[in-house]
Copies of this chain bind each other. A is one copy, B any other.
Amino acid sequence: MNTGKHLSKGSNPPTFPDNNTLRLYSMRFCPYAQRIHLVLDAKKIPYNVVYINLSEKPEWFAEKSPLGKVPALEIPDQGKGSTLVESLIIADYLDEKYPEIKLHSDDSFQKARDRIFVERFNSVISPYYRILFSTTGIPPGSLSEFVTALDVFEGELKARATAFFGGNKPNMLDYMIWPWCERADALRLAVGDKYELDKERFEHLLKWRDEMIKDEAVKKSFISAENHAKFVESRKNEAQPNYDMLVNEAKKPRLD
């Protein structure tokens, strides 16, 4: 049913089998939407995907997501038009509703601490975007802001002394910060050699990244740094971002 193509203005609303399978409105390169792909895949919850062209949104999409945002998760058994938005809220909802494979810690204090780290990860995300979308070179201070923010995560992973933030497998914190870590090397492609994570300074995080890439859920939505960088270039330089650039690859295995 899903070709991987992003639906645009003028498109017909998608049709779904008449069942209660969840419906995820997503965009192939959106890190916030990827959070929900990761949660659904890690929890092995079946779902249908509809990709949305965010520059030319389908008219019918306003009914699914009044502010036009992805990710939006439609939950048929809650009644017609029952949709949730906001990646962290959707992720928490799924973890509560489908507790067979739990991603949050059962310990409320540990869960709260992990959520605070997700919140603090915004201080990595902000300079990341400033650098990536700058058209006038690297904004002063942004690179050091980016790596200093990452220090907090390197320190925490070292203190936990486990392969993942979640222990011997990824938990909610791992998955919520992953999309930007997957994209980190797109920075190198965008700004050149000036950006390279110091192997000693980020010893634990770099090992963590190597482990994350082997995770089954991560593999399912994985996009290479080269392709992330290409998409960013299309967003910066073309009339419309090239949402469908991976459509023909949709059938190929994405990672060995």
> A-side interface residues toward B, CB under 8 Å?
75, 78, 82, 84-86, 89-90, 92-93, 96-97, 108-109, 111-113, 115-116, 119
Of all chain B residues, the one with the shortest Cβ separation from A73 is B112
A84 in contact with B97 given A89-B119, A119-B89 (CB within 8 Å): no
Chain B residue contacts of A90, Cβ below 8 A: 112
Q: How many copies does the complex hold?
A: 2
CB distance from A85 to the nearest CB of B (A): 6
- 23 pairs of residues in contact across A and B, judged by CB atoms under 8 Å: A75-B109, A78-B109, A82-B109, A84-B109, A84-B112, A84-B113, A84-B116, A85-B116, A86-B115, A86-B119, A89-B112, A89-B115, A89-B116, A89-B119, A90-B112, A92-B112, A93-B108, A93-B109, A93-B111, A93-B112, A96-B108, A96-B111, A97-B108
Of all chain B residues, the one with the shortest Cβ separation from A97 is B108
Question: Given A82-B109, A97-B108, 10 more contacts at CB 8 Å?
Answer: A84-B109, A85-B116, A86-B115, A86-B119, A89-B115, A92-B112, A92-B115, A93-B112, A96-B111, A97-B109
